[in-house]
Amino acid sequence: MTVAAIKEYVGVPRDRVENFNGKQLVYVSWDHHLLFAAPFLLCLAPQTSFRELVEGPLTALVQPDPDSAAIDWTKVEWLKSNQPWMPDFERSLADNGIGHKDQIRMRTPGLASLSAAA
């Protein structure tokens, strides 16, 4: 739908990828691990490999959760844009099809130390 206006109304998005100095945004969250109040916002080069994302910022960020040491990264289930999805750890974000502002979710069935008992 359109904005009611007295003349043509066109909005210019503020956070297009070209405004990020060659990098892009990626959102990452860990299902049922709400010690982290919101999904993480990462700003990375599209050439970053998925392994670098995981072993770098992601591992550091999830460290405060008591389940973090028990994560078996080979068994994590991934979602992208809320759909099941399989990343290739050796390939870049771009080659994995992770676009600017994509939301990635990880699931670790069985790990739920701080989560409510169902």
Partner 1 sequence: MDMKVAKKKLGLKEKYRLMTRDLGWEPTYRAKDEVFPYVNYEGIKVHDWDKWEDPFRLTMDSYWKYQAEKERKFYAIIDAHAQNNGHLNITDARYLSALKIFLQAISPGEYAAHKGFARVGREFPGVGTQVACQMQAIDEIRHAQTQIHALSNYNKYYDGFHAFADARDRIWYTSVARSFFDDAMSAGPFEFMIAIGFSFEYVLTNLLFVPFMSGAAYNGDMATVTFGFSAQSDEARHMTLGLECIKFMLEQDPDNLPIVQGWLDKWFWRGFRVLGLVSTMMDYMLPKRVMSWREAWEIYGVENGGALFKDLARYGIRPPKGWDDAEKAIDHMSHQFMLGLYQWSFGTSFHSWIPSDEDMDWLSAKYPTTFDKYYRPRWDHIRKLAAAGTPFKNFGLAKLCQTCQLPVVFTEPDDATMSCHRETEYKGEKYHFCSDGCQHIFDNEPEKYVQAWLPMPSLFQELDGDIGAWMNWVSLRDGEDNGDYSGSRDQRNFDQWRGMATSNT
Which residues bind to partner 1, rule: CB under 8 A?
1-6, 9-16, 19-21, 23, 25, 27, 29, 31-32, 34-43, 57, 61, 64, 66, 81-82, 99-103, 105, 114-118
Is 42 or 54 the residue whose CB approaches partner 1 more closely? 42
Is 86 or 117 the residue whose CB approaches partner 1 more closely? 117
Is 11 or 110 the residue whose CB approaches partner 1 more closely? 11
- CB 32, min distance to partner 1, A: 5
- CB 39, min distance to partner 1, A: 4
- CB 89, min distance to partner 1, A: 20
The 10 Å CB-count burial string (b at 16+, else e) for 64-92 is ebebbeebeeeebebebeeeebebeeeeb
Nearest in space to 30 (alpha carbons), one of 19, 39, 21: 39
In this structure, what are the phi and psi dihedrals at residue 49, rounded to the nearest 5 degrees? -80, 155
Residues 6 or more apart from 10 whose CB is under 8 A from it? none
Is 22 or 74 the residue whose CB approaches partner 1 more closely? 22
- For residues 69 and 48, give the distance between their C-alpha atoms in angstroms, rounded to a whole number: 23
